[in-house]
Structure 1
Amino acid sequence: MGAVARTLPPMLLGLLLAFTPGAQGVNPGLVARITDKGLEYAAKEGLLVLQRELHEIALPDFTGDFRVKHVGRGHYEFSRLDIRSCELRGPALKPLPGQGLSLTVADSFIRVQGRWKVRKSFLKLQGSFDLDIKGLAISANLLLGHESSGRPTVTASGCSSHIGDVEVDISGKLGWLLDLFHNQIESLFRRVLESKICEMVQKSVASDLQPYLQTLPVTAKIDSFVGVDYSLMAAPLATTQALDVMLKGEIFNLNHRSPVAISAPLLSLPEDGNRMVHFAVSDYVLNTGGLVYHQAGYLNFSMTDDMIPPDFIVHLTTKSFRVFVPWIARLYPNMNLELQGAVVLAPLVHLSPGNLSLAPQMEIEAFVLQPGNARELVFRLGVTTNISATVTFNTSKITGCLNPGKVRVELKESRVGTFHVELLEALLNYYILHTLYPKVNDHLARGFPLPLLKRIQLSDLVLQLHKDFLFLGANVQYTRG
C-alpha cells in the first residue's frame, strides 16, 4: 500500500489521534489514536531529548562554612560543576484519563564532575571531585489542551524527582577533610539536583515539545482551490488505553468557505493495538470534498466531435445522429453537436466493509451548433452509473482511483422526436472511460495530505474499509534532522 509519513518529536505527544464524540454532539471527520505501542515509542524518543537537556543544566556553585572537631572552622567551595554523563532508563508514557499523559523515568544515573576548594586561616587547598547520582526517578504530568486556532497545546504539571543515592568521590590534598562532612555535601547536592531536574523538564516541555506541536497543520492545501481543515475540535483525550485527538477533517473552498450541509457520522473504531498510530477517515471528509467540487463545477464536462476518434461508430454530427434520431438531420442538416454534462447532485461516497462506492446522477444536454455560434437545445438525457473506488495511502497522503461502471442513459426530453438511446450509451461509455475517468483519476492520484507533524516516517501500513470510515494503521519512526 505505500507508506504514510512524517512528524512527531521527542516525547511524541504530538502525533495523533483517535475518536471520541466532539463537543455539543458534533463528530470529528478525521480521527486517530496513539496506542500503548505508540506511547512506548514516544517515551523512548522523549528520553533522548531529556538526556540532551540534562547535559545543558547549569548547576550553581556551592559554598559554605564548616566546623570540624580538632580542626576548627573553615570555608569550602564546589565550582565548575559539569554533568559528564547520564543514563535515563525505564521511560513510560501512559494515558492520564481526563488530563493528558503521565511521564515517568526510573532507576537512572548521572555523573557530575567539578572542582573543590578549602580555606582555613592562611591554608588554601583544592582538587577535583566526582559525584554519582544513582536511582534517579522522575515523574511529571503532561496536560493537553487546544488553542482557539485548533492547534494542540501541552504544559508540564506536578513534576517531582527523587534521587536514591548520592556518592561523592573527592581527590586532592585534604580530601579527607571534606570526607568528614560528606553527608552534608551529598544532602545539598541532592536538594539542588532534584529541583534543577524538574526545572529542566518544565523547560523542555515549553521550549521543545510545545513548539513542535505547533507544526501540526491546521489547514492543508489540496489543489489550487480547495484545502482541508485539520483543526482540533477539542483537547486531546486520554483514555485508559490510548491518546485520542479529534480533528474537523472538512474539505473547503480556499476562496469562499461556506457552511457544510452534511454531518460527520458517529464512529466506532476497532480495538487494534498492532500499530503505533491509527487514523480513521470518515466518509464525511470525502463527501465534503464532493460538495466543494460540485459547487465549483469541477464535475461538469463538455463533449464535442473533435474529441471522438475518427473511426468511432458515432460522431457528434446531425448526419451521424440521423440513424437513431431521424428528425435531427432534417431540421439541422450538416451541423455539429455539443453535449454538456453536469452532475445533478454532489455524489456521496458510501463506505462499507471492504467496499467504497458512489452512484452519481448526471444530466446531459445536447445542443446543435448553428452558424454564428448560436446553440439550440435539441434533447436532454438522464445518466446514471455505479462506481467503485480503490483507496490507498502512502507516506503522506490518501489517494484513490475510480473503477469504471457501465453508464445507463434515459431520454428525459426531446425536441426532435422520440428515439432510442443505445448508440448514445456506447458513445458516452467511450467518452467517460477514455476522457472523464482519466481526468478524475489523475486528480485523485494527487491525493489529500494526512495531518502529520514534522520529521515523522510511517511504515508497516495497513488500510481497511469499515462502515462509514477508512481505517489506517502505521508504525512510526522519528527522523532527526
Structure 2
Amino acid sequence: MKAGTGPLLSTLLGLLFLSMPGTRGANPALVARITDKGLAYAAKEGLLTLQRELYKITLPDIRGDIKAIGRGQYEFHSLEIQNCELRGSSLKPLPGQGLRLAISDSSIGVHGKWKVRKSFLKLHGSFDLDVKGVTISVDLLLGMDPSGRPTAAASGCSCRICDLDVHVSGNVGKLLNFFHNQIESKLQKVLENKVCEMIQKSVTSDLQPYLQTLPVTAEIDSVLGIDYSLVAAPQAKAQVLDVMFKGEIFNRDHRSPVTTPTPAMILPEDSKQMVYFAISDHTFNIASRVYHQAGYLNFSITDDMLPPDSNIRLNTKAFSPFTPQITRKYPNMNLELLGTVVSAPILNISPGNLSLAPQMEIEGFVILPSSAREPVFRLGLVTNMFASLTFNNSKVTGKLHPDKAQVRLIESRVGMFNVNLFQAFLNYYLLNSLYPDVNDELAKGFPLPLPRRIQLHDLDFQIHKGFLYLGANVQYMRA
C-alpha cells in the first residue's frame, strides 16, 4: 500500500471479506461482523499509517504579486511537511452506505523557503507554517461487482484547517505583512486540497485493486472447493458492519448447484471482541454431502492395515470365531471389509453441543484365488459422536469423540454370525486406527481467510443453535 487509507481500509475490509452457499441475495452461510471496538482499532491503525503518508505529500510552489508599495512578486517554494500529529480518529458505520472516517484535533508543521523581487530589490529567507485544528472526513461507499468481489469508492472528502500561522525569517521588515493573510489563505487551500487528493487517490489506486485480489473460489483440500463471493454488499448498521458471504462448498472436479437453502442466522449482540465470524451448520453439512457423494467417507480394511500384534487377522481362518462356516467354504483366503456411509452425516449444532450420528454398512468380501471379491456378509453400524472444535489465530480445527458402534446383522451367506464378537473387534479397530486418522485430518483445520499481517488473539468460541460464533481481537503486524 502506498497511500494512507490503504492499510487502514485493507486491514478492516480484509477482515470482512471471508467466505461461504446459495444464490446472490440468499442467506449467507458465513457472516463477518466488525464491532465498534474493531472499527476503533482500524481507525487507530489507519491514523498511524496516514500520519506517515502525509510526510510524502508534495506541496506546490506558491507565487503571487505584491501590490502594496509598488508592484513586485513573491514565491514560497521547497515546501516540506516537517511534523505531523494526528490525534483523534473514528471510523463509524453509515447505515445503508458504508463507513465514515473522521480525524480531528490534529496539527501539521511545514517548512519552506521564500523569495521576493521588487524593482531591483531581491530578498529571500525561510519560513515555518504552523497548521492547527485540522479535521478530515471521508465517506467510503461499500459495494460489490458482478463477480461478487467487494468494491470501495470515496464518495466525498473534506479537510478543514482552523488555524494557520506563517513565521517568516529574514530581514524583510514589514514588507511581507502586506500580503501575510493572502499567503496564509493560499497555503491553507493547498494543504486542504492535497490531503483530500491523497485520500481519493488511495481509494482508487490502492484500496480498490487490493480488494479485487480477493479470490472468488479457493481450494480447501483435494476434494472440496469454496466460493468466496459476497451475496450482498456489506451492510453498515448502527454499531456494526456485517459482510455476508456465499460460502458455497463444492466438488472441485464436478461442481453442481446447491439445492438446499441456507437457514437464516440471528446473531447475538456481543461487542466485547473486535470481530466475530458466524459459520452456519449448513456449511459443514454441504461439505459432508460433497464428501459423501465423492465416496470420500467410505473406507476399506485389509489384513495389511491391521497392527502386526493384532490377535485378529483378516483371513478366513482367523475369522472362524465370528462365522465358523467361512473357513470350510473358503479355506485359507484373505478378507476385505468395505465400510460405506449410508447417507451424509448431519452435524447438529445446538447451544453448547455438536453431535452427529453417522449410519454405515460394513460388507465383508472373500478375496478368491482369481483376485475377484465375493461378498459373504453385510452388517449395519450406527454410532453417536460428539465433536469438539478449537479456534486458534488462523483456523478452526475439530476432533471426533465417538461412542462405541452398535452392529446388527443384515445378511450372511456363510451361516451363523457372532455379531457381538465382531462388534468388539470393529470397535477396537475404529477407535485405534480409523478415528485417529480422521482426527488427524480434522486437525488440519478449516482456515479462516484473513488478510496479510493480521493475527487474532483473545479468542472466544460460542455454539448457538444452527451456527458457530467465533470472536477475536485483532492485531495488525507491521513489517
Match of 2:38 in 1: 38
Out of 218, 221, 225, the position equivalent to 2:223 is 225
In the alignment, which of 237, 240, 244 is matched to residue 242 of structure 2? Answer: 244
> 1:354: Cα distance to partner?
1.2
Report how far residue 183 of structure 1 moved: 1.1
Aligned partner of 1:167 in structure 2 is 165
The number of aligned residues is: 472
Per-residue CA deviations over 1:151-182 (Å, capped at 9, x if unaligned) read 22211112111110111111112152112221
User: Counterpart in 2 of 1:107?
Assistant: 105
Q: Is the 2:18–2:449 Cα contact (8 Å) retained in structure 1?
A: no
Change in 2 beyond 3 A, CA 1:22/1:125: farther
Unpaired stretches in structure 1, ≥5 consecutive residues: 1-7
C-alpha distance in 2, partners of 1:171/1:210?
44
Q: 1 or 2 for the larger relative contact order (CA 8 Å, sep ≥6)?
A: 1
Alignment of 1:371 onto 2:369: yes
AA of the residue aligned to 2:64:
G
CA deviations over 1:201-241 (Å, ceiling 9, x no partner): 11122233334434544433222332322222211110101
Shift of 1:363: 1.2
Q: Residue 266 of structure 2: which of 246, 265, 268 is its match? A: 268
Answer yes or no: is 1:280 the counterpart of 2:271.
no
- TM-superposed CA distance for 1:21, in Å, is 12
> Scaled by the length of structure 2, what TM-score is found?
0.93
Contact 1:18 1:33 in 2 (8 A): no
> Is residue 59 of structure 2 the alignment partner of residue 59 of structure 1?
yes
| 459-468 or 251-260, which deviates more | 251-260
Indicate whether 1:296 and 2:294 are aligned.
yes
Cα gap change, 1:24 to 1:152, in 2 (>3 Å): closer
Give me the whole-angstrom Cα distance separating, in 2, the residues matched to 1:27 and 1:472.
Answer: 19
Query: 2:12 & 2:22 partners in 1: Cα distance?
Result: 20
Can you give the 5+ residue segments of structure 2 that lack an aligned partner in the other structure?
1-5
Matched, 1:466 2:461: no
Which amino acid in the other structure matches residue 183 of structure 1? N
Q: Is the 8 A contact 1:18 1:34 kept in 2?
A: no
Contact 1:17 1:278 in 2 (8 A): no
Deviation readout 1:226-258 (Å, 9 max, x if unpaired): 232222221111010111001122332223222
Report percent identity of matched pairs.
65
Q: CA 1:112/1:380 → structure 2, altered by over 3 Å: closer, same or farther?
A: same
| Residue of structure 2 in register with 1:4 after alignment | none
Q: Which moved more, 1:326-335 or 1:424-433?
A: 326-335
Q: Which residue matches 1:480?
A: 478
Counterpart in the other structure of 1:331: 329
The 2-side partners of 1:293 and 1:87 are apart by 56
1:74 aligns with 2:72: yes
Tell me which residue corresponds to 1:428: 426
> Partner amino acid for 1:35?
T
Kept in 1, the 8 Å contact 2:102–2:138? The answer is yes
Cα deviation digits, residues 1-47 of structure 1 (max 9, x gap): xxxxxxx9323331227999987661111111110000000001111
Q: Which AA in structure 1 matches 2:105?
A: D
Residue aligned with 1:134, SS: strand
Counterpart position of 2:200: 202
Q: Distance in 2 between matches of 1:266 and 1:44?
A: 33
For 1:367, give the aligned amino acid. F
| TM-score normalised over the length of structure 1 | 0.93
Q: What is residue 342 of structure 2 aligned with on the other side?
A: 344
Of 391, 394, 418, which residue of structure 2 is paired with 1:393? Answer: 391
Which residue of the partner structure matches residue 3 of structure 1? none
